[in-house]
Amino acid sequence: MNSQVFKYPKAIQVSKVYSKFMIPLGVLLLPLIILNNKISQFNSIFEYILAMVSVPLIMSVGSALYLGSWSDIEVTDSGLDVEFLWRKLHIPWNGIIGIQQVGSQKFAFTIVLTERRYLTFLHVVYCLFTIRSFQRGFNIHTQLLHSEVLMKIIQEKRLHN
């Protein structure tokens, strides 16, 4: 089998590029925010730290969560390659432990659950928000081009391995 790549439409691809830009920008903003604010302007050191870290942290972590929830997926003979930030995470076919449908018919998506060693801690957050589980998983939204073909491939390969 040749590898097949399943991507989201162009508008989502553009927003993913923007989010990849926001992660390092959030980190670079941290020293600027610290240098432009004095501790004396705040009631406590805790308030100061919270104010200094909150904007860059929200920008960086929020962008990483967004990117991970709209991952492009490549199907290979050995498994799935799930895009995460600037790299791909490989999940062998026998590493997929479950599939769960979430949402309404129009805005539905699928959570593919995997063994812990194949995905990051942020992938636990996706499952916590959607299915209230501490499993690691990734999303396949209906906006993914040919998502129904991808789901058929995953279900067939999962049964055969």
Per-position DSSP letters for 94-120, written without gaps between them = GGEEEEEEES-STT-EEEEEE-GGGS-
Query: Helix-strand-coil percent breakdown of the chain, rounded to 5?
Result: 50, 25, 25
Is it the case that residue 15 has pLDDT exceeding 70?
yes
Q: What single-letter amino acid sits at 36?
A: N
Please tell me the predicted confidence (pLDDT) of residue 9. 94
Q: What is the pLDDT averaged over residues 84-94?
A: 91
Task: List, edge to edge, every strand of the sheet that includes 79-84.
Answer: 4-6, 73-75, 79-84, 87-92
Ranges of H-type helices in the chain = 10-35, 45-69, 122-131, 147-160
CATH number given to 72-160: 2.30.29
pLDDT tens figures, 115-124: 888 988 888 8
Q: What is the pLDDT averaged over residues 74-82?
A: 92
Q: How many CB atoms sit inside 10 A of residue 2's CB? A: 6
Q: Where are the domains of the chain?
A: 8-68, 72-160
Q: What is the pLDDT averaged over residues 61-87?
A: 91
Return d(Cα 79, Cα 37) in angstroms, integer.
Answer: 49
In which band, very low, low, confident or very high, does the pLDDT at 83 lie, cut at 50, 70 and 90?
very high
Is it the case that residue 65 has pLDDT exceeding 80?
yes
Please tell me the predicted confidence (pLDDT) of residue 41. 83
| Percentage with pLDDT > 90 across the chain | 25
Is it the case that residue 105 has pLDDT exceeding 70?
no
Q: What is the pLDDT averaged over residues 93-101?
A: 87
On average, the pLDDT of the chain sits at 86
